[in-house]
Structure 1
Amino acid sequence: MINQQQLWDDDAAQQYDTPGQGMFSPDVLGPTVEVLSELASGGPAVEFAIGTGRVAIPLLEAGVPVSGIELSHAMIARLREKVGEDQIPVVQGDMSEASIGGNFTLAFLVFNTIANLLTQDQQVRCFENASGHLAPGGRFVIELWVPQLRSLPPGHGGTVEVSEPGYLLVDTYDVLRQHVVSHHVRFGSELSDGREALIGRTPHRYIWPSELDLMARIAGFELESRWADWDRSEFTAESRSHVSVYRLIERP
């Protein structure tokens, strides 16, 4: 099994940010921050797997106090190059266990990152940990892709997900354990250090939306909303991802 701390090392942290492009583009970040700001309802937010602050920093700039949990020392160090501990407090640790306090109105876990937890037990504990951070009625928001097993040909263990100049993404599946390993191959002009190709691998445990909802119920949440994207477009059988909003059930 790939060690997550080793996976998100100094090289990964330095290469993670792509200002103005990809997941850092205004078209992606703008709707994300807008929705999260609204769901925070004027209270503080905590981001699980805060990374280098891709979402947390613009959310803070939008007026929402933000704290975070992050496993990778290198990602936290990159975050600290941008903002101090007094602006965005962060606890280093596993998002299924580490705590940075309570009484938040919003917890969020975006860009498929709950799938970095490679067992169902860890994923359930992540929901339980989110519950422990929230005030009564608080929300937990998860952004996650929908497994595309329909594209897996019979007898084949992998699919080509992206093929473009300088980049190839191949996903290989272990359907028994619900595991996917994404193989990222970069080549040609994408590399500037003389190498012919760079191969990176990221492991995931994929989760069906219905399974995610059951995890939420175990931890005391109920599904409030589900959209296909941050623009709140309708989630359908053809959607390749979803943004799910869970609300912590207020007990009498």
Structure 2
Amino acid sequence: MTEDIWNLPQRDLWGRDAAENYDASGAMSSPAVLEPTVATLAELAAGGRALEFAIGTGRVGIPLREAGVEVVGIELSPDMVTQLRTRADEHTLPVAVGSMTDTHVEGEFSLAYLVFNTISNLYTQADQVACFRNAAAHLAPGGRFVIELWVPRPQPVGSSHAQVFSTDEGYIGMDVLDLSTQRGVSHHIRYGADGAARVSFSPFRYVWPGELDLMAQLAGFARESRDADWAGTPFTGASRSHVSVYRLPTG
């Protein structure tokens, strides 16, 4: 992994091409994935407003709004917002363009959430803590911050190694991890109908579940729950992902 990767602005990594192809995988937007996600978030919002960090193309925010929850988004990539606007206008789903570490939107929320491993798009522990603090700054007393994240499983084989995480039809995904920096790069290989391969990559910093809990404490949260998925499957040592709910004090 060269330093050039880490010097690329996130906004450039999530440009027009990435935005237009982001929803190409039907798996992420399937009812089996979205229905429990939306149902859980709507319940946690408890009738209040929801703020989605890194709202992207609106994969989750739009159906959550359709479920009756008022949703506001923060998104770094203008191209992602452009894609979202093909499905929802500014009145229906307002979005502020900026970083989830420090962008502020008006009003108070009962729920903030960050799905699909996206906190890992922040490359440093300090930025990830800043994300928690930004969430806390937007929430009412008793408000919740929800994070969906994979569980790292690095193996002590040299200073870096590769892990294949997906072999879906027409797609291969592989992570190359650097154990000395807690960073990695996801390599995405997508095959078109003509057999041609399109390759892209996305750098990330992986986060341990216990480390995430400490970040939450630094921002004033306490962990309320942790499940293996949106359906509420119990979290165990064998779980490959988790949905963690953090809550501010009520008073």
Using the size of structure 2 for normalisation, the TM-score is 0.93
Name the CA distance, whole Å, in 1 between partners of 2:171 and 2:100. 30
3-state SS of paired residue (2:131) = helix
Name the CA distance, whole Å, in 2 between partners of 1:104 and 1:110. 17
3-state SS of paired residue (1:132) = helix
Instruction: Tell me how many residue pairs correspond in the alignment.
Output: 245
Indicate the residue corresponding to 2:3 in structure 1: none
Say whether 1:215 aligns with 2:215. yes
The aligned runs of 1:90-169 (5 Å cut-off) are 90-150=95-155, 153=157, 157-163=161-167, 166-169=170-173
AA partner of residue 45 (structure 1): A
What's the CA shift for 1:5?
Answer: 0.8
Say whether 1:71 aligns with 2:76. yes
Say whether 1:171 aligns with 2:175. yes
Name the CA distance, whole Å, in 1 between partners of 2:82 and 2:250. 37
Deviations 1:141-171 (A, max 9, x none): 0000000114x64565212223355332221
Name the CA distance, whole Å, in 2 between partners of 1:220 and 1:49. 22
Name the CA distance, whole Å, in 1 between partners of 2:176 and 2:54. 24
For structure 1, list consecutive stretches of 5 or more residues without a partner in the other structure.
Answer: none
Indicate the residue corresponding to 1:31 in structure 2: 36
Name the CA distance, whole Å, in 1 between partners of 2:160 and 2:33. 33
Indicate the residue corresponding to 2:12 in structure 1: 6
Say whether 1:197 aligns with 2:185. no
AA partner of residue 23 (structure 2): D
More moved, 218-227 vs 169-178 = 169-178
AA partner of residue 199 (structure 2): I
Decide whether the 8 Å contact of 1:102 with 1:135 is kept in 2. Answer: no
Say whether 1:57 aligns with 2:67. no
Deviations 1:62-105 (A, max 9, x none): 10000010000000011111111111111000001101124100
Indicate the residue corresponding to 2:86 in structure 1: 81
**Hey, which bits of structure 1, 4+ residues long, moved more than 6 A?**
none
For structure 2, list consecutive stretches of 5 or more residues without a partner in the other structure.
Answer: 1-5
Tell me: CA distance 1:164–1:91, structure 2 relative to 1, closer, same or farther (3 Å). Answer: closer
What's the CA shift for 1:183?
Answer: 0.8
Name the CA distance, whole Å, in 2 between partners of 1:191 and 1:153. 37
Tell me: CA distance 1:180–1:105, structure 2 relative to 1, closer, same or farther (3 Å). Answer: same
AA partner of residue 25 (structure 1): S
Name the CA distance, whole Å, in 2 between partners of 1:191 and 1:207. 36
